[in-house]
């Protein structure tokens, strides 16, 4: 039976209209859900960064006496993780350091080492390490912090998405490059594991580099006077 051309056209228009209506009605919902996920990710990142920036070093006696020389254990919930040396899994030398989550871990656990900043103030430094992960649910990272008179002057870690280490992976290199403020007094550096899984860390290096080496996290310099007070310069 022949179907009138007008019916075919009407049917096609009807289908297109339904598709268009569906697209227009679902697009705001999809965007809202995407914004919600982005907001939750930023909130988690901000909370973790704040916690890691405020950590203190608890007594090593809480975590045994076989910690590697010069290193201490810290974190938001260090008791939910185990720490030690692994002579079977390492990238170089004879052993790596590991952080391993206990069942249902809260917060994060971390390795930390503290040094005087006097040899590094006013200079650009690079912290790097080799890392290996197994079943890391959230992330593993290295981190670097500069303090002065009990205040945190600068802090960076490799948690951001572009440098995040999660899941299971072989050895990968992670690095942080930043400028040590002239008023810096102490430098804290280490590695962190957040959530379930295990991470191994090896071949840490901490060195002064030239200013030709780019910073790993661009920081806009503080202006000497306010700008765009009348909002005429458009968007950033």
Task: Give the model's confidence band at 176: pLDDT under 50 very low, under 70 low, under 90 confident, else very high.
Answer: very high
**Nearest-angstrom CA–CA distance, 178 and 222:** 16
Residues 6+ apart with CB under 8 A from 164: 139, 141, 158
* 223 has a pLDDT exceeding 60: yes
Burial of 150 (0-12, 13-18, 19+ CB in 10 A): exposed
Tell whether the torsion through CA atoms of 6, 7, 10 and 15 is positive or negative.
negative
Among 101, 111, 34, 29, residue whose Cα is nearest residue 67: 111
Among 177, 178, 179, 169, residue whose Cα is nearest residue 201: 169
* 110 has a pLDDT exceeding 90: yes
Task: Give the model's confidence band at 7: pLDDT under 50 very low, under 70 low, under 90 confident, else very high.
Answer: very low
| pLDDT, average across residues 154-179 | 93
Task: Give the model's confidence band at 60: pLDDT under 50 very low, under 70 low, under 90 confident, else very high.
Answer: very low
Query: Percent of the chain, pLDDT > 70?
Result: 68
Among 146, 130, 141, residue whose Cα is nearest residue 179: 146
**Nearest-angstrom CA–CA distance, 97 and 129:** 11
Question: Can you give the pLDDT at residue 23?
Answer: 54
Q: What is the pTM for the complete model shown?
A: 0.71
For domain 54-209, give the CATH superfamily: Galactose-binding domain-like (2.60.120.260)
Mean pLDDT computed over every residue of the chain: 81
């Amino acid at each position: 039976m022949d179907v009138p051309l007008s019916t075919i056209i009407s049917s096609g228009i009807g289908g297109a209209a339904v598709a268009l209506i569906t697209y227009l009605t679902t697009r705001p919902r999809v965007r809202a859900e995407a914004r919600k996920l982005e907001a939750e990710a930023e909130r988690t990142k901000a909370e973790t960064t704040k916690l890691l920036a405020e950590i203190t070093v608890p007594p090593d006696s809480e975590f045994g006496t076989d910690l590697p020389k010069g290193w201490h254990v810290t974190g938001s919930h260090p008791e939910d993780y185990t720490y030690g040396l692994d002579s079977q899994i390492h990238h170089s030398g004879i052993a790596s350091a590991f952080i391993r989550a206990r069942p249902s871990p809260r917060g994060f656990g971390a390795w930390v080492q503290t040094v005087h900043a006097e040899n590094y103030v006013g200079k650009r430094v690079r912290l790097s390490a080799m890392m290996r992960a197994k079943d890391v649910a959230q992330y593993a990272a290295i981190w670097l912090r500069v303090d002065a008179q009990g205040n945190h002057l600068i802090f960076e870690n490799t948690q951001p998405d572009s440098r995040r280490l999660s899941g299971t992976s072989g050895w990968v290199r992670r690095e942080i490059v930043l400028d040590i403020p002239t008023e810096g007094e102490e430098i804290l550096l280490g590695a962190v594991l957040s959530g379930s899984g295990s991470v191994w860390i090896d071949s840490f290096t901490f060195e002064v580099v030239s200013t030709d080496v780019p910073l790993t996290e661009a920081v806009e310099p503080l202006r000497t006077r306010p700008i765009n007070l009348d909002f005429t310069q458009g968007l950033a």
